[in-house]
Structure 1
Amino acid sequence: MKRTLRFSIIALSALALTACATLQRGPVGNAEVPQPGKPVDLNRYAGLWYEIGRYENGFERGCEGVIAEYTLRPDGLVGVRNSCRQDGVNGEQKVSEGRARVVEGSQNAKLKVSFFGPFYVGDYWVLDRADDYSWSIVGEPSGRYLWLLSRTPRPSEAQRAVINRRAQELGYDMSLVRPTLH
């Protein structure tokens, strides 16, 4: 009896998380998401990234000052720590911690990321990046999510133009990009 109850609770929790994720989906901004174009050196990718733009989504609604930090863990996984300021750059800080594993055969450009244990795993594809790892374009297969990342919170207009142009070349509708304030 306890086993059946435990299984039912786990199944209902997974169903609720899936329903929440489905409700948070935005419009498809890229109907034909390309495969990542370059291998990723995780040692160089690790560290602090500033979100400079994104497709709006439910789990980041109202977030400004978004920062992602990636660390290489001793168990071979990638540690993920995302933070944002709620409702403005001086708002209350929200933090989410998770982990990711590299998808085999992806040259480290595709990760499976989990913030909610084993019940919900999302795709994280490094679609393109600067040769010096100063910027990165991240998406996933549905075309509903896009993140534009930089190593600095306020990249130069020239660098921002390069990132935006490259995202557009990858097929993304740039009119859906919401700039992130820092």
Structure 2
Amino acid sequence: MKAIVMLFFLVVLTGCLGMPERVSPVTGFEADRYLGTWYEVARLDHSFERGLKNISATYSKRDDGGINVLNRGYSIEDQEWNQAQGKAYFVEDERTGYLKVSFFGPFYGSYVVFDLDKEGYEYAFISGPDTDYLWLLARTPNPGEAVINRFKTVAKAKGFDTNELIFVEHDDL
């Protein structure tokens, strides 16, 4: 059942390659530094992620120049891990944090890195094609109040409804 929900998530994200009006992708993006595991700290609510905890995304290089994406979350109801494997490619150039991501077929959706800790690559703010899609990813499940406050401030200024944020439960990992 959760696999079907994850597929729904993927279908929703494949609808558009645009981005919200006030969102701009970061420049100076370094894909090699972005690779590895990121934890989902906060997001706007979507049915495809409801009931999941310990959500993470792991990125790795593809032979064709793209990036492999492995999204994972633990279903509280089903007591099992769910995952979705996808691929991402740069929309403009490899130094701009604007990618298109697909988890099946020829359908792609926006993945816009609009804020990033460029010094340590410890957190990233991600948007989809509109202000209904927003994530805070970090290298640790608990990045600290300063990062969370920055996320709320920056996202609100860009038009996201930060009053609706969901904070992801993570077991002691």
Correspondent of 2:12 among 15, 21, 24? 21
Correspondent of 1:96 among 81, 84, 87? 84
Deviation of 1:106 after TM superposition, in Å, equals 6.8
Deviation of 1:127 after TM superposition, in Å, equals 0.8
Q: Which amino acid aligns with 1:63?
A: L
Q: Equivalent residue for 1:177?
A: 165
Report matched runs for 1:42-121 at 5 Å: 42-87=31-76, 91-105=79-93, 107-118=95-106, 120-121=107-108
Structural RMSD (CA):
2.4
Contact (CA 8 Å) 1:112, 1:121: kept in 2 or not? yes
The count of corresponding residues between Structure 1 and Structure 2 is 156
Q: Which amino acid aligns with 1:21?
A: V
Q: Equivalent residue for 1:142?
A: 130
- Structure (1 or 2) with the larger CA radius of gyration: 1
Query: Which structure 1 residue ranges, 5 or more long, are not aligned?
Result: 1-16
Aligned-residue identity in percent: 35
Using a 3 Å threshold, how does the CA distance of structure 1 residues 31 and 114 change in structure 2: closer, same or farther? closer
Deviation of 1:67 after TM superposition, in Å, equals 0.3
Using a 3 Å threshold, how does the CA distance of structure 1 residues 181 and 149 change in structure 2: closer, same or farther? same
Q: Which amino acid aligns with 2:137?
A: L
Contact (CA 8 Å) 1:135, 1:163: kept in 2 or not? no
Using a 3 Å threshold, how does the CA distance of structure 1 residues 31 and 176 change in structure 2: closer, same or farther? farther
Q: Equivalent residue for 1:130?
A: 117
